[in-house]
């Protein structure tokens, strides 16, 4: 065994236990039936990787890519306990394996792997991502693992969006892929919503995006906002049927959402956001009284988030509300829609009381208009 490694293990019982624990795991699993010479040969290479991992993992904070609400940074030795806790989380453990500590340390020194931590703006860690094929990512790059402990707030989708940006824009890969277990329907739904394409003949567990697919996701030069006409009705309904489930809602066109059958009658103004001939977003204004209006139906496909399209739709709605001489604009939303609330705050909306007795919403806001 490497003399320097022996000194480190002798001085640090935690690393020593992790080292020998993994050797024992290997001996009783993948190495079962191996000769003493084969086990010794394995240990030689494992010792090399373990020492490299100790060196690589003992680093300062290094940010890889930053999004609107989260940052992806390189994992260090200090993150090992957290990463294991994420994998053992009761919602994650059925779908992801828990790497033994010794193996995780060794992989920190493996140039083929990149282990990362997902953090919120305040530095709170909320998940992990592990990339493989990092030694030469030009042809292909794998997202080997993604796991979040703070679910239901869209952090996983934002992390996937940053992972795609990292893969194609920073690493220059041609093919980005990932996999999941057959019955992990929630993950499969998210991957599809984020533009990952199911593989054939295995459409349930393997997904990919090529560099050409990624480029097609970029906003085309033909994204425009158009005021609603009846010619858009079927395209609008088709858009809502796909867009609402991205925020865990379903379109009930014959029930609570029946007003979309009469957009002109329900809204004072309504606009659709087009990419070519496809509706990819929408927003409307509804009259409350002579001086007040309400911002409604602000939706943009998830794959178009982060491109200031929601901002463009809101500016259109606010400008027209002022032209119509409304003095204030109200809106309601959900506290868990953190990105939307953040946008509303940036647009000058402030918190107010429940103005419409909506039993579903838990955030109510208002903006004074320059009319």
Give the CATH number of the domain where residue 69 resides: 3.40.630.30
**pLDDT tens, residue by residue, 184-228:** 988 998 898 888 989 876 667 899 999 988 876 666 556 899 999
Mean pLDDT, the chain, rounded, equals 92
* Region 156-175 average pLDDT: 95
Residues 227 and 151 in one domain: no
**pLDDT tens, residue by residue, 241-268:** 999 999 888 999 999 999 999 999 999 9
CA nearest to 274, candidates 306, 320, 318, 228? 228
Residues 70 and 187 in one domain: yes
Residues 155 and 250 in one domain: no
Residues 194 and 326 in one domain: no
Rg (CA), the chain: 25
List, in sequence order, the alpha helices (H) in 12-124: 13-28, 36-57, 80-88, 101-108
In terms of phi and psi (left: phi > 0; alpha: psi -120 to 50; beta: otherwise), the region of 220 is: beta
pLDDT band at 1 (very low <50, low <70, confident <90, very high): low
- State which of 183, 217, 251 marks the end of a domain: 217
Residues 81 and 193 in one domain: yes
- State which of 195, 217, 239 marks the end of a domain: 217
| DSSP string of 111-167, one letter each residue | TTEEEEEEEETTS-EEEEEEEE-TTSTTT-EEEEEEEESS-SSSHHHHHHHHHHHII
Residues 231 and 326 in one domain: yes
**What domain range is 47 assigned to?**
3-57
- State which of 164, 198, 217 marks the end of a domain: 217
**pLDDT tens, residue by residue, 269-289:** 999 999 888 999 999 999 999
Residues 213 and 70 in one domain: yes
**pLDDT tens, residue by residue, 113-126:** 999 999 999 999 99
Residues 104 and 155 in one domain: yes
For the chain, first and last CA: distance in Å? 78
Residues 247 and 318 in one domain: yes
pTM: 0.61
Total tally of structural domains belonging to the chain: 3
The total number of residues shown for the chain amounts to: 371
Residues 228 and 359 in one domain: yes
């Amino acid at each position: 065994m490497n003399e320097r490694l022996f000194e480190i293990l002798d001085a640090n019982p935690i690393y020593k236990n992790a080292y020998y624990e993994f050797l024992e795991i290997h001996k009783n699993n993948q190495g079962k039936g191996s000769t003493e010479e084969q086990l010794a040969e394995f240990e030689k290479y494992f010792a090399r990787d373990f020492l490299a991992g100790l060196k690589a993992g003992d680093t300062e904070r290094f940010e890889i890519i930053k999004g609107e609400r989260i940052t992806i940074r390189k994992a260090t030795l200090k993150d090992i306990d957290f990463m294991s806790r994420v994998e053992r989380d009761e919602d994650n453990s059925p779908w992801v394996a828990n790497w033994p500590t010794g193996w995780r340390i060794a992989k920190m020194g493996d140039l083929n792997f990149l282990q990362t931590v997902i953090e919120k703006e305040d530095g709170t860690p909320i998940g992990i991502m592990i990339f493989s094929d990092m030694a030469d990512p030009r042809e292909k790059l794998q997202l080997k693992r993604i796991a979040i402990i703070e679910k239901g707030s869209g952090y996983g989708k934002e992390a996937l969006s940053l992972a795609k940006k990292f893969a194609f824009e920073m690493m220059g890969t041609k093919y980005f892929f990932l996999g999941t277990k057959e019955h992990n329907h929630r993950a499969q739904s998210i991957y599809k919503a984020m533009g990952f394409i199911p593989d054939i003949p295995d459409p349930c567990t393997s997904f990919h995006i090529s560099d050409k697919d990624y480029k097609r996701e970029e906003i085309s030069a033909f994204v425009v906002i158009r005021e609603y006409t009846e010619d858009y009705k079927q395209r609008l309904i088709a858009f809502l049927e796909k867009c609402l489930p991205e925020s865990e809602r379903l379109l009930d066109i014959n029930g609570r959402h029946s007003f979309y059958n009469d957009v002109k009658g329900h809204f004072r103004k309504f606009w659709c956001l087009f990419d070519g001939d496809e509706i990819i977003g929408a927003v409307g204004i509804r009259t409350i009284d002579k001086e007040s209006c309400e911002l409604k139906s602000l939706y943009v496909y998830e794959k178009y988030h982060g491109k200031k399209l929601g901002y463009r739709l809101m500016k259109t709605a606010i400008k027209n509300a002022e032209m119509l001489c409304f003095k204030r604009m109200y809106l309601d939303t959900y506290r868990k829609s953190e990105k939307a609330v953040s946008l509303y705050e940036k647009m000058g909306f402030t918190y107010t009381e429940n103005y419409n007795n909506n039993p579903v919403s838990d955030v109510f806001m208002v903006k004074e208009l320059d009319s």
